[in-house]
Amino acid sequence: MSNPILQVENLQICVRKKPGVLILRGVSFHVNAGETLAIVGESGCGKSMTSLAIMGLLPDAVEKLSGTIRFKGRELPITDNRAMRKVRAAEIGMVFQEPMAALDPLYPVGKQVLEVIEEHEKLPRAMAWARVIDLLTKVDLPNPETLAWSYPHKLSGGQLQRVVIAMALACNPDVLIADEPTTALDVTVQAQIMRLLKRLQRDTGVAIVLITHNLGLVAHTADRVMVMYAGNKAEEAPTRDLFLNPRHPYTRGLLDATPNPERASAQGGVLREIPGTVPSIADPMPGCRFAPRCPNASDLCHARFPDPTYEGAHGYACHHPVTDARV
């Protein structure tokens, strides 16, 4: 374990006042300084809830049941909104899927970046503004002095996402959580935004937690991957290892279900699907939650949730892991 900057241990989140209805069922992982960790999974797997928990932004309808989140070794007071305000942006920045939702339509975008800086640092106005312009330049926005005075609706989706990234990085955080940052964007813009994030990471050493459902994005931008399914961590591994030697049948299924022109001919024009659907969070099944959809499932899988197994940095929670490598 090189240098974990963020550590999440046994995080359990349930629907408020319903400890039996778990959204996160005891998730543990860490993020190393300067790396990109991708959290992958389908809707309802808990990946977004994990990021909201780290930011102390859990919706009112849910509550933390157990677990700790440590940032640089100290526990984050995620239920204390006032204390978390100091953490947000200053130490952990966040980028959302919908940039429009993160910005106030009534203020020029430069002002909104300025606000973030002034919230966390006492700076003369002129210096703070100079920093805004500098930030907008760094995220490759054209004519930052003029653009700073534009209102959000005047900018394109890609430009807005750049502004949000500038806001997230305004106070030099150590971790940036990017929750589906490019899902609402066209592929060409997606590539630009991802390249921007990677370059900022190289220049500032910020660790990125990339939450996404896009495995292609993961393959080319992440150092490590954590796969989640129905509130559990299914598998975690260095990116290359995960793609070539997935051990959890869900990871394997996900990889095989993803359209890939390079493999299409082998599949005869049809995609390989994972049958069935994700179980309801209220379903109290005792075993592995993937078992009903799993080709390898046995009675053991339905009865008992598997303990995580580690082979070096590659961990998975499965009684009957996949053994053949993907070609």
Residues that bind another protein (CB under 8 A): 42-43, 186-188, 190-192, 194-195, 198-199, 202, 213-221, 239-240, 243-244, 253-255, 257-264, 267, 269-275, 277-278
Nearest distance in Å: CB 300, another protein = 23
Q: Is 198 exposed, middle or buried (0-12, 13-18, 19+ CB in 10 A)?
A: middle
Query: What tokens does 243 get?
Result: 């793609």
CB nearer to another protein: give 4 or 158: 158
DSSP classification of residue 326 = P
Asked if 175 and 207 count as a contact pair (C-beta separation under 8 A), the reply is: yes
Nearest distance in Å: CB 89, another protein = 24
CB nearer to another protein: give 233 or 293: 293
Nearest distance in Å: CB 15, another protein = 15
CB nearer to another protein: give 264 or 300: 264
Nearest distance in Å: CB 48, another protein = 13
Nearest distance in Å: CB 294, another protein = 12
Nearest distance in Å: CB 121, another protein = 28
Asked if 45 and 233 count as a contact pair (C-beta separation under 8 A), the reply is: no
Q: Is 28 exposed, middle or buried (0-12, 13-18, 19+ CB in 10 A)?
A: middle
CA 95/CA 282 separation, integer angstroms? 30
CB nearer to another protein: give 126 or 270: 270
What DSSP letter does each residue of 43-96 carry, written as one string?
TTSSHHHHHHHHHT---TTEEEEEEEEEETTEE--TT-HHHHHHHBTTTEEEE-
Write out the H or E segment, with its range, that includes residue 113. Answer: helix 109-120
Q: Cβ neighbours of residue 54 under 8 Å, at least 6 residues apart?
A: 6, 8, 69, 76, 78, 92, 177, 209
CB nearer to another protein: give 199 or 304: 199
CA 223/CA 218 separation, integer angstroms? 8
CB nearer to another protein: give 116 or 139: 139
Ordered alpha helix ranges (H), 121-263: 125-138, 144-147, 157-169, 187-204, 215-221, 239-244, 249-257
Nearest distance in Å: CB 86, another protein = 31
CB nearer to another protein: give 117 or 208: 208
Query: What tokens does 27 get?
Result: 């998730």
